[in-house]
Amino acid sequence: MSRTDIRKRCLGVSYAPTGEAEVLVWAPKADLLEITMNDGNTIIPLKKQEYGYWSLTTDQIQPGDTYKFRINEDQEYPDPASLSQPQSVHGPSQAVDVEAFQWTDQNWKNIPLEDYVLYELHTGTFSPDGTFAGLEEKLDYLKELGVNAIEIMPVAQFPGDRNWGYDGVFPYAVQNSYGGPEGLQHLVDVCHQKGLAVVLDVVYNHLGPEGNYLGVYGHYFTEKYNTPWGQALNFDDAWCDGVRRYFTENLLMWFRDFHIDAVRMDAVHAIKDFSPVHILREMKQQVNQLMEETGRTHHMIVELDLNDTRFINPLKEGGYGMDSQWVDEFHHALRVTTTGENTGYYSDFTGICDLAKAYRDAYVYDGQFSPHRNKHFGIKAENNPGKQFIVFTQNHDQVGNRMLGERLGELVSFEMQKLAAGAVIFSPFLPMLWMGEEYSEPNRFMYFVSHTDPELAEAVRKGRKAEFAAFHAQGEAPDPMAEETFNNSKLQWDLVKKEPHQTMFKYYQTLLRLRREIPALKSLDRKAVEVEENEGNKTLILRRGQGEQQVVILMNFSQEPQKVTVPLGAKNWQLLIDSAAPEWKGPQAAVASVAGGAEVTLQPESMVVYQG
């Protein structure tokens, strides 16, 4: 009863081939557990099993029926493994036959991880109606842009209908206001028809505050540790077996029942686990078994703030086996280089020298002393391939966690936006775009919630104001509860065909096409990378490829024209793209070809790329 079955859904309500409902709940705190339906007029007791599980097989629960669980003939609560909460977090759960969806993606094969070009988006603000169906209408646009993997911010049920998704409290339930479980399945199916992989952001380090009922069923939380969001989930304390199974089965569900291609696991550094087998390693082992069973490939991507290769090293080397990770340090080095910001965690970064180190070593801090942390930090990532590192100019955190939610385009010039895009897309790592950056969306992406608990809503308002009290000169932090804050964070699709946004879109299109077509740019061989930086004039030369197939990327982050010497190695370097060319609304084009060892003048805040 305590073992995970990778082949089918076990926890919650599922359906046998006979049509009967099979119910399994982990509720070690209960002395009596009953399922209630029809406003309490139908009450069915569950049978107690070992290790705190309760089970039931019945023909009285049909797909679409709503139900709750009653604990000890007292309070009624939604199903902790509910797939659907049509009346949000406090309402009843809805039974769903998750295997009933008619898939058409039998011929789909996941894109090799090294070929991923990611596009992070928030379902509620990406399209005008903020649903999975609205997202489907924009898939052809994303294909035209040149990305091949959409990364969707969390969809686990949260209170109300406005939230980033990290306040989810039903990890198995798909947000009702987005389209529910069938809406997500349909979206994934359509994505696969169009050749797009789907990455889903999942949160296994904490739960949100409102509608968080897991603790009444079992020992989901532990007093041993704290996280920035409150009590830690219990992955290694007494009764942790049920918690580990709950989240492992959740991961398997996304891959097996929703055909998700990859997950991005939020802040895994906040998962506290000193078990002999770390929960991430156990999850990877289970996913490997699932892939053997189904023949499908799934990737596990983590957000990681530890610069610790143990997380991304293979299982056979004693690692946790994660396939890739976000690298915030590349972003920080690039942000300091482009904006000069030096507050908070940016104070650890000097700009162009650290950006050069990020190109060389992936981690900027790999053993040095970190002044911001007041300790030596990180280890070297010498043997980890480029596909294990995901880089970006911005993401939901780096935009939305600013007081006013300004995108990079509001902080730097049009020319610098183009340079920053090239710095990411032509890196020897996996590039990720943040929705709207490809056409320089001016709308901010702000922090928003729609808690229905008035006290909690007020606490969030006050907390946000207190967090940015030192920045009062910039104005007031937007009210996260206001619908206006949410609406003002939506993309403005009418801008895509207007200038200068259309030019920026075409520029991004061209960068992504070159990355696909030029072998030296597509390759993620970190050994075939050379970097030369000049801190004085803020230039950086990035050389990609080996032998006859080489590309050199010349970057000028200063506000003055700068002369750089093109490397030897090719008799003639031929121009691939120049961000300062008039076709990209730049001031002046560079020469179309240049001999190795010759000087080239780079326009302010520009990038010139030559192929040898």
Give per-residue pLDDT as tens, 472-494.
557 788 999 999 999 999 999 99
Supply the pLDDT for residue 1. Answer: 43
What is the tens place of the pLDDT at every residue in 519-538?
A: 999 999 999 999 999 999 99
Q: Which tops the pLDDT comparison, 42 or 7?
A: 42
Share of the chain above pLDDT 70, in %: 99
What is the tens place of the pLDDT at every residue in 377-417?
A: 999 999 999 999 999 999 999 999 999 999 999 999 999 99
Q: Which residues contact 167 (CB under 8 A, 6 or more apart)?
A: 158, 159, 208, 209, 210, 449, 451
Q: Tell me if 126 sits within 8 A of 138, measured CB to CB.
A: yes
Q: 303 catalytic, yes or no?
A: yes
Supply the pLDDT for residue 226. Answer: 85
Q: 354 catalytic, yes or no?
A: no
Supply the pLDDT for residue 549. Answer: 86
CA-CA distance, 111 to 93, in Å (whole number)?
Answer: 35
Residue with token string 């990737």 = 299
Q: Give me 523's structure tokens.
A: 């390759």
State mean pLDDT over 148-167: 97
What is the tens place of the pLDDT at every residue in 549-585?
A: 899 999 999 999 999 999 987 778 999 999 999 999 9
Domains and CATH numbers, the chain: 12-94 (2.60.40.10), 529-611 (2.60.40.1180)
Judge whether residue 172 has pLDDT over 70.
yes
Q: Give me 310's structure tokens.
A: 């143990």
Supply the pLDDT for residue 473. Answer: 57
DSSP 343: S
Mean pLDDT score of the chain? 95
Q: Tell me if 71 sits within 8 A of 27, measured CB to CB.
A: yes
Q: Tell me if 362 sits within 8 A of 384, measured CB to CB.
A: yes
Beta partners for 578? 608
* φ and ψ at residue 599, rounded to 5 degrees: -95, 145
What is the tens place of the pLDDT at every residue in 576-612?
A: 999 999 999 999 999 999 998 999 999 999 999 999 8
What is the tens place of the pLDDT at every residue in 104-125?
A: 999 999 999 999 999 999 999 9
Nearest CA-CA partner of 28 in 241, 342, 182, 222: 241
127 pLDDT tier (thresholds 50, 70, 90): very high
Q: How many CB atoms lie within 10 A of CB 191?
A: 25
Supply the pLDDT for residue 472. Answer: 54
Residue 491: its H or E element: none
State mean pLDDT over 271-283: 97
Supply the pLDDT for residue 64. Answer: 96
Q: Tell me if 143 sits within 8 A of 195, measured CB to CB.
A: yes
Tell me the pTM: 0.96
Judge whether residue 229 has pLDDT over 60.
yes
The residue type found at 402 is R
Share of the chain above pLDDT 90, in %: 90
Supply the pLDDT for residue 350. Answer: 92
231 pLDDT tier (thresholds 50, 70, 90): confident
Judge whether residue 221 has pLDDT over 70.
yes
Q: Give me 6's structure tokens.
A: 């990778």
Q: Give me 330's structure tokens.
A: 């590349």
CA-CA distance, 422 to 555, in Å (whole number)?
Answer: 9
Q: Give me 499's structure tokens.
A: 């200038």
CA-CA distance, 331 to 434, in Å (whole number)?
Answer: 12
Beta partners for 554? 541, 608
Q: Tell me if 313 sits within 8 A of 330, measured CB to CB.
A: no
At residue 592, the 3 state secondary structure works out as coil
Q: Tell me if 417 sits within 8 A of 408, measured CB to CB.
A: yes
DSSP 567: P
On the 0-12 / 13-18 / 19+ scale of CB atoms within 10 A, 125 is: buried
* φ and ψ at residue 330, rounded to 5 degrees: -60, -45
Q: Which of 79, 266, 438, 441 is catalytic?
A: 266
State mean pLDDT over 87-111: 97
Judge whether residue 271 has pLDDT over 90.
yes
Supply the pLDDT for residue 427. Answer: 98
State mean pLDDT over 340-366: 94
Q: What angle do CA 508, 513, 516 make, to 5 degrees?
A: 130
470 pLDDT tier (thresholds 50, 70, 90): low
Q: Which of 22, 34, 303, 308 is catalytic?
A: 303
Instruction: Return the beta strands (E) in 139-220 as ranges.
Output: 149-152, 156-157, 170-174, 197-202
CA-CA distance, 91 to 442, in Å (whole number)?
Answer: 38
CA 194 to chain CA centroid, nearest Å = 21
